[in-house]
Amino acid sequence: MAGISRAVAADILSHLLNTLEYPPQERHRKRYSSLVEGNEAALHRYLFSCLRPEVLEVFSHQSSLPSWATLRKLNEQGPPPPDAAGVYLNIIRGTDGHDRLYVGQTTRLNQRIFRQHMNFRYRRDNRSLHYHAIEYSSWNNFVVLAVPPPPSGSLPSWLRGSNPQLILNVLEMWCALMFKTLPRNTFEDWLPEKYLDAEHADWFPLNLALPLDQGDHELGATVDWGEALRNANDPLARGYASGRAPTSTSLSVQHEKPAEVESAGLGASSIVLLAFAAGFVAGAFWQKR
């Protein structure tokens, strides 16, 4: 992989915001025009301020995915409050030896990661390619990439009244483009051309749905991704589409759902501790790569 430097991140974000002004799909213009038009420079600064600087420090110097020890140090650097909204990266080492990446968003990090992603029963009842990869993993680790300020806090005046969902969508889209966790045809629409033929990623992508469509209920709850998965380069995705785990190729798009029971006893440090618990058993294997 090529390093994700500050300049690369800024270039991808600028291209994303420019494309949002005249997007390939009309539905995105309708949803995002009021957020982007006339605010592009200010929105660029705001979104960049949400990105954790230590993330760029780690990934800008990497020719491959960071080591287990590096990820641990990254997670220990000022974990956000458990009730914070944010965008996160899930790095998954498959039992087949391949690495897979997924980028997601949430209004509550603790709930989304630990009460849903890390909950076997939740994964069983909400099938997705992402959860299929977790089931067939040696370990997986979560890294919080970006955290916007609280809605009642330091939002710029021009952002007040904007839908927080749209801001999270753009943040997630930006991060998914940086880490190349989306299908190739999505990159052709939204990634700067000079990065299309850049060094190939050393992992398989797990994001299917476009982050910009999060919360758009007019699209429906399910999308048929069967053909795309059957033709995927990732053998795990092809196996998923053929029914090795699910019984249908009409695959649920993974949207955030409220947890049935909240756990009041999980503190901010749980975001670090529980994330490492997911991959602790195989941590030594990661270091020996």
Q: How confident is the model at residue 262 (pLDDT cuts 50, 70, 90)?
A: very low
Q: Could you list the residue range(s) of the whole structural domain that residue 54 is in?
A: 6-287
Query: What is the mean predicted confidence (pLDDT) over 36-63?
Result: 89
Q: Is residue 162 part of a domain?
A: yes
Residue 224 CB burial class (10 angstroms; 0-12, 13-18, ≥19):
exposed
Could you tell me the pLDDT band of residue 231, with boundaries at 50, 70 and 90? confident
pLDDT in tens, 175-229: 999 999 999 889 999 999 988 876 567 899 999 999 999 988 777 555 677 888 9
Residue partners of 43: CB distance under 8 A and separation at least 6: 17, 35, 36, 170
Domain membership flag for residue 111: yes
Asked whether residue 22 is domain-assigned, the answer is yes
> Residue 184's pLDDT is what?
86
DSSP E strands: which ranges in the chain? 86-94, 99-106, 137-146, 204-205, 222-224, 250-252
Whether 249 is covered by a domain: the verdict is yes
73 against 120, higher pLDDT: 120
- The predicted pLDDT at position 82 comes to 76
Residue-level pLDDT at 220: 57
Average pLDDT, the chain: 81
pLDDT band at residue 263, thresholds of 50, 70 and 90? very low
Residue 1 in domain: no
Domain count, the chain: 1
Residue holding tokens 């080591």?
A: 67
Is the model's pLDDT at 20 over the cut of 80?
yes
Cα 85 to Cα 93: distance, rounded to the nearest angstrom = 26
Beta bridge partners of 281: none
In a domain, 269, yes or no: yes
Compare 46 and 156 and report the one with higher pLDDT: 46
- Residue 152 has a pLDDT of 52
**What is the identity of the amino acid at 267?**
G
Q: Tell me, yes or no, whether 115 lies in a domain.
A: yes
Which phi and psi angles does 202 have, rounded to 5°? -90, 25
Structural domain contains residue 53 = yes
Whole-angstrom CA distances from 90 to 8, 9, 133, 163 are 21, 19, 11, 26
